[in-house]
Chains A and B, each alone.
Chain A
Amino acid sequence: MMNMLVQPSILNNQLGLGSGDPILTIISLLSYLFIFVFIFYGQRIQMYVMIREVESSLFKLKLLKEEGRKTAIETINEIGKPTADPSSKVDRYLEYFTIAPQNMDPSGIVHKLDHILDVRDERLKEEVKLMAPASDEVQVYNLENTLEAAMALNFIYKVVRHYYLQGKKTLSLYTIMQLQMILPLVMKEAEAYSSALKAFAYGQPIGDGVGPLIAARLMHGHEVRKVPKDCVVATVPFENRTALVTKAEGPGGNVGKPGDAVKALIEENRGKISAVIMIDAGLKLEGEALGEIAEGIGAAIGGPGVDQYKIEEAIMEDKIPLYAVIVKEDIGDAVSMMRKEISNAAEKAIERVKDVVKERTKEGDQIIIVGVGNTIGVGQ
């Protein structure tokens, strides 16, 4: 009997409802409410937190994009001395797109892609010349690079916004979650493009330019001639061998077409080339030191793959060995202003190239050394 009467009050006490103090009762009721809210709406709350995160990144992307556009317009006004306001033309330029060739039947696709990229390049350069009539050749190249970086920022912003709005509209946790997961990488890339844009606007060398920088160090003081397309070559005595050193023509922002250049050089010296050495900036993994040198085999060249294909084709006929020396840097360093460590790594890379040449070729041999990358801010 006693027990049964006592029990409800014990229960009340344990639930925190029966102590008599109204404040305590309210507090314990509230804590139950919290538990149930989190059980049923936990995922939704998590989603709103994620949406907030994406929102703030999107906001930052918008700032970067707008700053990029502003820098581009300012640079055009400063260098190009346009007669009319270039803003509307810049906006049109930022929306420019390129359609890759159909790959259902992939045979011959490289040449199609090559052609499409040529047309695009020519078209964009003409557009820049119209926007900035007072600019010289070098400045046209730099302005084109600046606008391309602005274009990339614009594109990243629009894609992230698309998935953000779609996720918000459908309230799909998985759309938002995927976006939130890749955002740190996207932001890193956007920041890299943003600093690249400033480097391009001022004509400063970027991290990717370490290949051309090394080539320039080797060819400086020797006679330089042009080779197709947008490349230069110098014949340089190198460790008792003859090196044909080639790079994109500087100092305008330009990657040239090393594929065509190597092909032309091999054809000029049919059967005489005993090695091709390519120097490029290579992507470093987290934890690896900036400016570390590594060597390997194969065509060290990025981009859409056209030049890699051409170089591999060109060396096949004479079965010329292809060596690669890379300077390690991360994506942020590669497209932003060249860091001191990378500039200093050029000397170390030259030493490594010398080692490769001494080990892999005989005295009196003829070799090709290619400095791959964007040669902005690096002459010859």
Chain B
Amino acid sequence: MTNKAASSGSSNKISTFVLAVTYITLILSIIAIVAGVTAFYEGFIEVTAYLLAIGFIALALSGYYVFQSRKHVATLKIETPKILTTIECIKCGIKSTREFQRGDYVYKELDKCSKCEDTQVITAIYREPTLKEKEKNPTA
């Protein structure tokens, strides 16, 4: 979660608590793994097995949780898509594209065409698909 998010709402208290528990588990799991390795060199094979098992399970759980909360942060970022305006001269068919400006609308008449004396017209306003949408629907 972002800093702005952490400053408001009651739901964040629980989230910081859970986060603290997660990090403590993470540290403990690493200690367990280190202890397991030491036990291995001291010859306690069985203890090594237990400590490593506990260490890896705890590591997996806390790692999963950290990964999950990262994913939430990622989805909170809203992509700002690019909006494009297509300008066309109906008479000579010259097309150009520029970024959308406030006040643009389809079939709005703009200034004169550079070649002929006809007025140019906006013929389309659309947004390019975002990267996520391209991944989801590559054929479209």
Interface residues in chain A, defined as those with a beta carbon under 8 Å from any beta carbon in chain B: 19, 21, 23-24, 27, 52, 55-56, 58-60, 62-63, 194-195, 202-205, 213, 216, 220-221, 250-251, 289-291, 336-343, 377-380
Contact B127 A202 (CB under 8 A): no
Contact A56 B83 (CB under 8 A): no
Contact A213 B140 (CB under 8 A): no
Contact B54 A339 (CB under 8 A): no
Contact A341 B140 (CB under 8 A): yes
Q: Of A55, A290, A378, which one neighbours B106 at CB under 8 angstroms? A: A378
Question: What is the chain A residue whose CB lies nearest that of B10?
Answer: A55
Residues of B within 8 A of A56 (CB): 11, 72
State A343–B100 Cα separation when bound (angstroms). 15
State A289–B140 Cα separation when bound (angstroms). 7
Is B64 located at the chain interface by the 8 A CB criterion? no
A59-B5, A377-B105 given as contacts; is B137 within 8 A of A290 (CB)? Answer: yes
Give per-residue flags for B61-74: 1 if the beta carbon is below 8 A from chain A beta carbons, else 0: 00000000000100
Residues 53-103 of B at the A interface (beta carbon under 8 Å): 54, 72, 75-76, 78, 81, 83, 90, 100, 102-103
Q: Of B15, B50, B104, B105, which one neighbours A23 at CB under 8 angstroms? A: B50
Interface residues in chain B, defined as those with a beta carbon under 8 Å from any beta carbon in chain A: 5, 9, 11, 14-15, 18, 46-47, 50, 54, 72, 75-76, 78, 81, 83, 90, 100, 102-108, 121, 124-129, 133, 137, 139-140
A21-B46, A203-B103, A289-B139 given as contacts; is B127 within 8 A of A339 (CB)? Answer: yes
Contact B140 A290 (CB under 8 A): yes
Minimum Cβ distance to chain B for residue A53 (Å): 10
Question: What is the chain B residue whose CB lies nearest that of A19?
Answer: B46
Question: What is the chain B residue whose CB lies nearest that of A205?
Answer: B125
Minimum Cβ distance to chain B for residue A216 (Å): 6
Minimum Cβ distance to chain B for residue A186 (Å): 15
Q: Of A202, A203, A221, A340, which one neighbours B129 at CB under 8 angstroms? A: A340
State A62–B14 Cα separation when bound (angstroms). 17
State A162–B51 Cα separation when bound (angstroms). 45
Q: Of B47, B83, B128, B140, which one neighbours A204 at CB under 8 angstroms? A: B83
Contact B106 A291 (CB under 8 A): no
Residues of A within 8 A of B137 (CB): 289-290
Contact A340 B128 (CB under 8 A): yes
Contact A24 B46 (CB under 8 A): yes
Contact A203 B126 (CB under 8 A): no
State A19–B127 Cα separation when bound (angstroms). 69
State A21–B137 Cα separation when bound (angstroms). 58
Question: What is the chain A residue whose CB lies nearest that of B125?
Answer: A205
Q: Of A23, A213, A291, A337, which one neighbours B83 at CB under 8 angstroms? A: A337
Q: Of A59, A337, A338, A378, which one neighbours B11 at CB under 8 angstroms? A: A59
Contact A337 B107 (CB under 8 A): no
Residues of A within 8 A of B126 (CB): 205, 337-340, 342-343
State A60–B76 Cα separation when bound (angstroms). 7
Contact B106 A251 (CB under 8 A): yes
Question: What is the chain B residue whose CB lies nearest that of A292?
Answer: B140
Contact A213 B106 (CB under 8 A): yes
State A23–B108 Cα separation when bound (angstroms). 79
State A220–B105 Cα separation when bound (angstroms). 13
Counting chain B CB atoms within 10 Å of each CB, the highest count among A59, A213, A291 belongs to: A59
Q: Of B9, B47, B50, B127, which one neighbours A62 at CB under 8 angstroms? A: B9
Residues of A within 8 A of B127 (CB): 204, 336-340
Minimum Cβ distance to chain B for residue A44 (Å): 15
Minimum Cβ distance to chain A for residue B69 (Å): 9
State A339–B84 Cα separation when bound (angstroms). 10
Contact B47 A23 (CB under 8 A): yes
Q: Of B9, B100, B133, B139, which one neighbours A59 at CB under 8 angstroms? A: B9
Contact A339 B129 (CB under 8 A): yes
Given contacts A58-B11, A59-B5, A204-B125, 17 further A-B contacts (CB under 8 A): A24-B50, A27-B50, A55-B14, A59-B9, A60-B76, A63-B5, A202-B83, A203-B102, A203-B103, A204-B127, A251-B108, A289-B137, A289-B139, A338-B125, A341-B140, A342-B126, A378-B107
Counting chain A CB atoms within 10 Å of each CB, the highest count among B75, B105, B139 belongs to: B105
State A291–B126 Cα separation when bound (angstroms). 13
Question: What is the chain A residue whose CB lies nearest that of B4?
Answer: A63
Minimum Cβ distance to chain A for residue B48 (Å): 11
Question: Could you list 30 A-B pairs, sorted by A, with CB under 8 Å?
Answer: A19-B46, A24-B47, A24-B50, A55-B14, A56-B72, A58-B11, A59-B5, A59-B11, A202-B83, A202-B102, A203-B102, A203-B104, A204-B127, A205-B106, A213-B106, A216-B106, A216-B107, A220-B121, A221-B90, A251-B105, A251-B108, A289-B139, A337-B127, A338-B127, A340-B127, A342-B126, A343-B126, A377-B105, A377-B125, A379-B108
